[in-house]
Structure 1
């Protein structure tokens, strides 16, 4: 059983913060995108930053759907998610969030996770361990529409995530994130504290953005989470999940795609929308 009170060992973090070029981020522009002021590091401020990021920036796979590998250079991520007000997937979200946290004075450790380890899924997801106020937290603004606020990294800790309970379980040298679904705990992913290098995420990103078996290359995926409601485009369907009621399903016709994307806070340019609509129709 791991020591649930252990601190982050920053000496294992490859190259320290400078290797991640965190200072390249325009922090003011990022905070403006979130609608938040500068605040000193604290567990409460971390929670507010995490929730504001999830509310403001969509999860989406438009670039991989169109055959493009998203750039993981911090400047490119910021241009896409902050200036152009697009969304992205886990690497883009969590690399951006990690850089902002480091500029604000948080101790951040970048990690990898295995999605659906019972199957098992690939060990390609990115999440973060953040140390503040003498405690470690799991932070993950890039896991689709799942984690609204950071979770204390202690065995058995539970947190309501916008209406869906989640828990962390210590397993050997690592951890497991579970979600309560229909009265049963379902494992979302497993992870440990192994240090990751930028090149690791480049390799993961290449697989996730290009492999034909990746869930992000063959169908449109857009996800938005708010209190009590989760809205998703999965392939050709709009799924609306309610924390306290039945799900709704609706097929999206190609001519409804632009309006549906805008309802999920993705307002694409006409050229981008035409490309997505063409690819979308081709997957029906």
Structure 2
């Protein structure tokens, strides 16, 4: 095993140090915390992270102390939510680069020709284009193919074979796109509340979402929520309603987490409860396995497809096609298997395969497993 990397966090809260220590242990990165800058030079480090609360004079003092015996030491000043991400990026650049996406292929896939700079304008544009081009769908799960969320598998499926996918594929791809552009981004996990009865017990955390930092402001980015995907970045530091080209959304504090809500016909409905804990890529492996393979997973008992364009949100649940326009109009249709196939091709721009036909017949009959 290669020697572990040593990281020192100065001026960071103990909870941040503990979280970083736990998250990075599997990557052979040792994390240490130091509150007193007079006692921080106990060993050699590969990286020193300053908390944003540390003053400029304190940072200068620490750098001077270390420079007497470790002249090439790297120093970074990082906001708390990005500590883990920044450490991984700084100490494992080669590994990170191998996971990045072909941006030209991605641009072609989503039909985007604008600038690729880490700005709110770019983020907003990508959040409009991605859900319009890459549909949300769970067809491989219904075919018992399983879901491989490794970068090569996701890129091959969503970009090159022009398929869709669900949150662990969609947001995994989007995360690597944002990182390749230069955004600071972290993975999160959420407890879905959408369509759940008000008195239902809490569901397990099962949804992947992203937090993007721009000029010290945290934004929610999510291209994997199917029928109600936010088509704009949502600020996580305000409770005010935030308009998108479809519905308005808002983010409220809730029991140490953040409750994301959407306004449907003047009524606020819960979307999901967003945990603040940072997830590394491998944290999603067991969540993805459960969603794709466990017999009780709701992804295994019905066809779920969605696409959101500027004109409408299109949702297919088994044989029920719903079209919802930004002005609030809703149209519903019941489709047979042949019509489902046509909708997949024409509305959801998916390359329908011959071996999907048994699944489409089940979907048309309500996915009754007894048939």
Q: TM-score, normalised by structure 2?
A: 0.69
Residue 149 of structure 1 deviates from its aligned partner by 1.0
Task: Determine helix, strand or coil for the equivalent of 2:299.
Answer: coil
Alignment-derived partner of residue 112 in structure 1: 189
Q: Which has the larger radius of gyration?
A: 2
2:189–2:205 contact (8 Å) kept in structure 1? yes
- Aligned positions of 1:169-180 closer than 5 A: 169-180=252-263
- Aligned positions of 1:141-156 closer than 5 A: 141-146=223-228, 147-156=230-239
- Give the whole-Å Cα distance in 1 for the aligned partners of 2:226 and 2:326: 16
* Counterpart selection for 2:178 from 94, 101, 125: 101
Residue 257 of structure 1 deviates from its aligned partner by 2.0
List gaps (5 residues or longer) in structure 2.
Answer: 1-51, 53-77
CA displacement 1:77-111 (0-9 Å, x = unmatched): 00000001110000101000000110110000100
1:174–1:191 contact (8 Å) kept in structure 2? yes
Alignment-derived partner of residue 315 in structure 2: 232
Alignment-derived partner of residue 106 in structure 2: 30
- Give the whole-Å Cα distance in 1 for the aligned partners of 2:162 and 2:97: 21
Alignment-derived partner of residue 72 in structure 1: 149
Does 2:135 align with 1:58?
yes
Task: Determine helix, strand or coil for the equivalent of 2:298.
Answer: coil
- Give the whole-Å Cα distance in 2 for the aligned partners of 1:10 and 1:259: 44
**Do the aligned partners of residues 20 and 264 (structure 1) sit closer, same or farther apart at CA in structure 2, a change above 3 Å counting?**
farther
List gaps (5 residues or longer) in structure 1.
Answer: none
1:55–1:224 contact (8 Å) kept in structure 2? yes
**Do the aligned partners of residues 40 and 128 (structure 1) sit closer, same or farther apart at CA in structure 2, a change above 3 Å counting?**
same
CA displacement 1:180-237 (0-9 Å, x = unmatched): 1232211111112212133321111111112333221111110111235211110121
- Give the whole-Å Cα distance in 1 for the aligned partners of 2:342 and 2:360: 12
242-251 vs 133-142, greater mean Cα deviation: 242-251
1:224–1:230 contact (8 Å) kept in structure 2? yes
- Give the whole-Å Cα distance in 1 for the aligned partners of 2:272 and 2:87: 27
Residue 245 of structure 1 deviates from its aligned partner by 4.0
**Do the aligned partners of residues 60 and 22 (structure 1) sit closer, same or farther apart at CA in structure 2, a change above 3 Å counting?**
farther
**Do the aligned partners of residues 152 and 69 (structure 1) sit closer, same or farther apart at CA in structure 2, a change above 3 Å counting?**
same
1:112–1:192 contact (8 Å) kept in structure 2? yes
CA displacement 1:45-78 (0-9 Å, x = unmatched): 1111111111111001101111222101011000
Task: Determine helix, strand or coil for the equivalent of 1:216.
Answer: helix
| Number of residue pairs the alignment of both structures matches | 280
- Give the whole-Å Cα distance in 1 for the aligned partners of 2:350 and 2:205: 32
Task: Determine helix, strand or coil for the equivalent of 2:271.
Answer: strand
- Give the whole-Å Cα distance in 1 for the aligned partners of 2:81 and 2:350: 41
- Give the whole-Å Cα distance in 2 for the aligned partners of 1:87 and 1:235: 16
Alignment-derived partner of residue 84 in structure 2: 12
CA displacement 1:137-162 (0-9 Å, x = unmatched): 00001011321111111131322233
79-88 vs 253-262, greater mean Cα deviation: 253-262
**Do the aligned partners of residues 85 and 272 (structure 1) sit closer, same or farther apart at CA in structure 2, a change above 3 Å counting?**
farther
Task: Determine helix, strand or coil for the equivalent of 2:308.
Answer: strand
Residue 24 of structure 1 deviates from its aligned partner by 4.0
2:337–2:357 contact (8 Å) kept in structure 1? no
- Cα RMSD of the aligned pairs, angstroms, is 2.4
- Give the whole-Å Cα distance in 1 for the aligned partners of 2:99 and 2:264: 40
88-97 vs 232-241, greater mean Cα deviation: 232-241
71-80 vs 115-124, greater mean Cα deviation: 115-124
* Counterpart selection for 1:139 from 215, 218, 221: 221
1:162–1:225 contact (8 Å) kept in structure 2? no
* Counterpart selection for 1:129 from 211, 218, 223: 211
Residue 265 of structure 1 deviates from its aligned partner by 2.9
Q: TM-score, normalised by structure 1?
A: 0.89
